[in-house]
Amino acid sequence: MTFTSYAQNFEDVTLWRTLKLFGPGFYIDIGANHPTRDSVTRSLYERGWRGINIEPVLHYYESLCAERPEDVNLCVAVGDEENELVFFESPETGLSTLSLEMAERQKAEGIPFIQRTVKTRTLTSICEEHVHSELPLQFIKIDVEGFEEQVLRGMDFQRWRPWIILVESSYDIDPEWTSIILEAGYKFALCDGINRYYVAQERLELLVPLSLPPNFLDDFRLCAGHLFSHPVVDVQAIRTDLCSATNRAELAEAKLTEIYNSRFWRLAKIITSVKNLVSIK
């Protein structure tokens, strides 16, 4: 069965290659955003994986509840303490953040934000409530636009040991928060240009499948509408449109033939010929 990739930078392909022999498994998606578009976990959910989606933007959270009913979906933000913080929300993008610095940087690029207050929880408290000890936590994905350090500081990595930690970090070449992960007993595995991957010391065998970029041997295809699928088009839609256009053309041709064979048309031709003769005389 060909694997369908939804993630923006093939993160789901990389994770599937690394973990498919151990699944279906369990994940935590922090900053889950849309349940399908650019989703790192959608393809795994389709293959029986389940997890926790954390998303403070209300309409994305509601979509997650509708499309991922077998996941745990939480409409909160994640930080280093249980609190309420100012949230800079960009409703139609994946750029919403609790980081004032990141919000100011994005505003300078023309991205509008709405400020509101959101509840924050620590990752530890979420794990205590929703992660069962007998179920291995195979990966955590963190996409929080500049609030990564606070998320990581709110996690007890000695008690909860995700095999892989995946953090979006497109702005920082050497983020300061990496020390939190390394000191917790993780080894840096990969930077794909957007994300940084880390592997638990007790699962170092996963470094091997993480060492290669997604490629032909991964037997995957892009979902419809994926940014990288351009200019590939929906062939079935084109066939449908072509069939409809052909039917309309055949119908128009049949109507035209019917008109040409009608008495009215023959009479009109005779009248036109007589008029031409009269005008010549």
Residues 15 and 124 in one domain: yes
The predicted pLDDT at position 279 comes to 66
The predicted pLDDT at position 94 comes to 81
Asked if 33 and 179 touch (Cβ cutoff 8 Å), the reply is no
The predicted pLDDT at position 239 comes to 73
Give the pLDDT confidence of 53-74 residue by residue, as tens digits.
999 999 999 999 999 999 999 9
Give the pLDDT confidence of 197-208 residue by residue, as tens digits.
999 999 999 999
- The alpha carbon torsion through 105, 9, 61, 108 (nearest 10 deg) reads 10
Residue 58 lies in a domain: yes
Residue 240 lies in a domain: yes
Residue 230 lies in a domain: no
Residues 208 and 273 in one domain: no
Residues 190 and 247 in one domain: no
Residues 91 and 183 in one domain: yes
Residues 24 and 135 in one domain: yes
- pLDDT tens, residue order, the chain (281 aa): 788 999 999 999 999 999 999 979 999 999 999 999 999 999 999 999 999 999 999 999 999 999 999 999 999 999 999 999 998 888 888 888 888 888 888 888 888 888 999 999 999 999 999 998 777 899 999 999 889 999 999 999 999 999 999 999 866 677 889 999 999 999 999 999 899 999 999 999 999 999 888 888 888 888 787 777 665 555 566 777 778 888 888 888 888 788 878 877 777 777 777 667 666 65
Residues 142 and 252 in one domain: no
Residues 92 and 216 in one domain: yes
Distance CA 13, CA 192 (A): 12
**Which CATH number is 126's domain given?**
3.40.50.150
Which residue from 151, 153, 59, 76 is spatially nearest to 117, judged by alpha carbons? 76
The residue type of 49 is W
Residues 41 and 126 in one domain: yes
Residue 275 lies in a domain: yes
Q: For residue 115, what are the domain limits?
A: 3-224
Give the pLDDT confidence of 213-251 residue by residue, as tens digits.
888 888 888 878 777 766 555 556 677 777 888 888 888
Residues 220 and 243 in one domain: no
Contacts of 183 (CB under 8 A, 6+ apart): none
Distance CA 263, CA 266 (A): 5
